[in-house]
Amino acid sequence: MRWQGRRGSDNIEDRRRMGVGRAGGLGLGGMLAVLAISYFLGIDITPMLNGGGSSISQGGEVEVTEADQQAAEFVSVTLADTEEVWSGVFQSQLGRPYNPVTLVLFKQVTQSPCGNASGATGPFYCPLDKKVYLDTDFFVTLQRQMGAGGDFAAAYVVAHEVAHHVQDELGILSQVNDIRQRSGEAESNALSVRIELQADCLSGAWANNAAQTLGTIEQGDIAEAMNAAAKIGDDTLQRNAGRRPMPDSFTHGTSEQRQRWFAEGFKSGRIDACDTFNTNDI
């Protein structure tokens, strides 16, 4: 992915030096916050917690390393790419403007209206303040623990969370979450899977349009995104955590589903190709 030396986004809220807190032992309330965020919004990496977690504790200023800064610059450029692409797509395909999302960069722990954000929850979109929350250390987790390295694997993570904002802009996210709140666990999980797979498809549509309009996609980039999609499938995460995959508990979709819907979006480049709610072939 060609990103060095390119324009970054102005819609970054940098909290990395705020010293809100650091990871520590989870009490019951902290564990529930982690589970709630992972269940409803972010990439579900709770199977990897092994009983650990994080909670907010007061601390001093957090050190921002050179690696942190480079990762932040990468996120800023990727976010700018999503702004340019989705503005064009909304205008050409929907005839309406796109309102960009704000992305909050943090280290260790921060707060959001949707609950505490930490490395345990993974990146997530909070519809209550319409912001994406991301600790760039997740990219290290993605590469070292999940085996999904590469610039475009990280770009896919950013694009997926921005895609939740796109769903919010389209009115899809609020409608589905309203239904989920009135549903039993199994139905709620099934709807969550469709939300996440649609976000994967929209990520693919973004990649298609970025390749055509920005020319930033290089050979091997899509393979990196497909590999990342496979590594964060519910079945793969549960299997790697030593558990038998339990389809009724899936909230994001299997590895195969996540790859297939990303590929569908990348093939078409269109929003209307990403209707995961009116198909039996999920």
Long-range contacts of 179-186 (CB under 8 A, 24+ apart): 180/40, 185/248, 186/248
d(CA 124, CA 137): 14
Output DSSP code: residue 62: P
Rounded to the nearest 5°, which phi and psi values hold at 140? -65, -45
Q: Using one digit for the tens of pLDDT, what is the confidence trace for 76-103?
A: 999 999 999 999 999 999 999 999 999 9
Contacts of 14 (CB under 8 A, 6+ apart): 72, 105
SS3 256: helix
pTM assigned to the model:
0.85
Sequential pLDDT tens for the chain (282 residues): 877 778 999 999 999 887 554 444 434 334 333 433 343 344 433 443 434 444 444 455 778 888 889 999 999 999 999 999 999 999 999 999 999 999 999 998 899 999 888 866 789 999 999 999 999 888 888 888 888 888 999 999 999 999 999 999 999 999 999 999 999 999 999 999 999 999 999 999 999 999 999 988 888 999 999 999 999 999 999 998 899 999 999 999 999 999 999 999 999 999 999 999 999 999
Separation between Cα atoms, residue 70 and residue 64, nearest integer Å: 10
E-strand stretches of the chain: 12-14, 102-105, 109-112, 115-118, 124-126, 131-134
Evaluate whether 37 touches 117 at the Cβ level (below 8 Å). yes
Task: Give how far Cα 36 sits from Cα of 9, 16, 29, 49, 159, Å.
Answer: 29, 23, 10, 14, 22
Non-local CB neighbours of 72 within 8 Å, separated by 6+ positions? 12, 14, 16, 105, 136
Up-side HSE of residue 53: CA atoms within 13 Å toward CB?
21
